[in-house]
């Protein structure tokens, strides 16, 4: 069977509604990848559980690159991996200047068998030489698996590694739409290294899973995040687009999320169709809205949090 070079599924020309469809089996890419590459066309997210693939990879004991990014530094322990893990925080180019990289790395805690941690950017090549050397140092065989949640930047990273340390350009499809990669993709970088891309894990509580193409554009930061600081006196309401509302009183907060979102402060209550949670948040904690970003609370606060149905939040020790 010939596989699609973009997403890894078997190419087929019989079922237009199924994965891997192409009119001509000589094509390199399936129609879905063609549409993503040329039109960034939004497609229904496959309702699949990719965690089984990760479990099977873990049994091999090879080195795993666990890829994540600044706004999605959570859920790592839920992966229950036993293989050696090289934790890769990518998209360093979106990190606010005020965030000290070493400090951030030391704050990322997880119970996995993490042999090393590194911050990189595929976009501007930051630290990729160091990453390559670390991969060579820790790999158990020539096969190194790249796993993580959807949209973390796994495929973009592999394409960049092939370009930098191999003999050809990477050809895996990448996009800000969830579930771009659909199956394992073996990419031989050179005689010492094969990077294996995997379908991103899906977190049903993440905004990424529910957003339209236009919303995804807004919530995905494309450049350095400028943290927004609010010193709230009395009662105020913070609205962020139509996704999210916070009712606050006498507190200080810092918002870390895409600056393409529309932040508004209002002083009078108004009807809201979102789901409401009453929270007590201690000082120096982050309120994480899955898939969107996080808000750091500098002092103990009582807040009402309003979210789109099925989007989940969590509270953690502040990482900044
Ligand atoms: N700013 C920035 N964006 C990046 C970087 N790497 C990836 N991205 C963007 O992140 C989004 C997701 O990238 P992908 O490489 O497709 O992510 P993935 O982890 O392979 O996603 P799935 O295949 O769905 O699991 C795309 O919009 C990329 O352009 C980076 O270093 N910096
Ligand atoms: Mg991918």
Q: HEC profile for the chain?
A: CCECCCCCCECECCCCCCCCECCCCCCCCCHHHHHHHHHCCCCCCCCCCCHHHHHHHHHHCCCEEEEEEHHHCCCHHHHCCCCCEEEEEECHHHCCCCCCHHHHHHHCCCCCCEEEEEECECCCCECHHHHHHHHHHHCCCCEEEEEEECCCCHHHHHHHHHHHHCCCCCCCCCCCCCCCCCCCEEEEEECCEEEEECCCECCCCCHHHCCCHHHHHHHCCCCCCCCEEEEEEEEEEEEECCCEEEEEEEEEEEEEECCCCCEEEECCCCCCCCEEEEEEECCCEEEEECCCEEEEECCCEEEEEEECCCCCEEEEECCC
Q: What is the pLDDT of residues 81-132, one digit of tens each?
A: 999 999 999 999 999 999 999 999 998 888 899 999 999 999 999 999 999 9
**pLDDT surpasses 80 at 215:** yes
| pLDDT confidence of residue 48 | 81
Quote the pLDDT of residue 54: 94
Pocket test residue of 4, 148, 153 for ligand 1, highest count of atoms within 8 A of CB: 153
Report H helices in the chain: 31-39, 51-60, 101-107, 128-138, 154-165, 213-219
- The pLDDT > 70 percentage for the chain reads 99
Considering just the CA atoms, what is the radius of gyration of the chain in Å?
A: 21
Centre of ligand 1 from the C-alpha of residue 248, in Å: 33
Q: Which atom of ligand 1 is nearest to the CA of 176?
A: 27
Which of the four pLDDT bands, split at 50, 70 and 90, describes residue 230?
Answer: very high
Pocket test for ligand 1, best of 151, 163, 216 (most atoms within 8 A of CB): 151
For residue 296, what pLDDT is reported?
A: 97
47-202 belongs to CATH 3.40.50.300:
yes
Name all residues whose Cβ lies below 6 A of ligand 1.
Answer: 90-91, 93-94, 121-123, 148, 150-156, 174-176, 178-181, 199-200, 220, 222
Could you tell me the residue ranges of all domains in the chain? 1-41, 47-202, 228-317
Q: How far is the CA of 318 from the centre of ligand 2 (A)?
A: 29
Residues 252-261: pLDDT tens digits?
Answer: 999 999 999 9
Model confidence pTM above 0.85: yes
pLDDT one-digit tens code per residue, 231-288: 999 999 999 998 899 999 999 999 999 999 999 999 888 888 999 999 999 999 999 9
What is the arithmetic mean of pLDDT over 2-25? 95
Three-state SS at 235:
strand
Q: How buried is 245 (Cβ within 10 angstroms: 0-12 exposed, 13-18 middle, 19+ buried)?
A: buried
pLDDT attached to residue 170: 85
The rounded mean pLDDT for the chain is 94
pLDDT in tens, 22-77: 999 999 999 999 999 998 887 777 778 888 999 999 999 999 999 999 999 988 88
């Amino acid at each position: 069977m010939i596989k699609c070079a973009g997403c890894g599924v078997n190419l087929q020309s019989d079922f237009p509604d199924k994965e891997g469809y192409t009119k001509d089996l000589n094509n390199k890419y399936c129609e879905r990848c063609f549409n993503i590459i040329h039109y960034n066309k939004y497609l229904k997210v496959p309702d699949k559980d990719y965690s089984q693939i990760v479990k099977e990879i873990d049994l091999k004991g090879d080195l795993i690159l666990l890829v994540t990014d600044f706004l999605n530094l959570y859920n790592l322990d839920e992966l229950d991996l036993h293989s050696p893990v090289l934790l890769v925080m990518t998209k360093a180019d979106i990190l606010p200047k005020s965030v000290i990289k070493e400090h951030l790395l030391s704050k990322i805690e997880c119970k996995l068998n993490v042999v090393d941690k590194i911050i990189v950017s595929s976009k501007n090549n930051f630290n990729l030489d160091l990453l390559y050397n670390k991969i060579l140092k820790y790999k158990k065989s020539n096969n190194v698996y790249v796993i993580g949640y959807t949209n973390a930047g796994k495929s973009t990273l592999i394409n960049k590694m092939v370009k930098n340390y191999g003999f050809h350009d990477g050809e895996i499809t990448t996009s800000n739409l969830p579930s771009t990669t659909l199956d394992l993709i073996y990419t031989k970088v050179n005689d010492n290294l094969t990077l294996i891309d995997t379908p991103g894990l899906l977190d049903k509580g993440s905004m990424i899973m529910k957003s339209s193409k236009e919303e995804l554009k807004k919530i995905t930061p494309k450049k350095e995040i400028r943290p927004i600081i609010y010193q709230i006196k009395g009662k105020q309401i913070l609205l962020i687009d139509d996704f999210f509302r916070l009712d606050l009183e006498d507190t200080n907060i810092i918002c870390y999320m895409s600056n393409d979102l529309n932040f508004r402060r209002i002083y009078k209550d108004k009807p809201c169709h979102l789901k409401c949670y009453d929270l007590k948040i201690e000082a120096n904690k982050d309120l994480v809205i899955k898939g969107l970003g996080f808000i750091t609370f500098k002092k103990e606060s009582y807040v009402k949090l309003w979210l789109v149905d099925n989007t989940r939040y969590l509270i953690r020790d502040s990482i900044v």
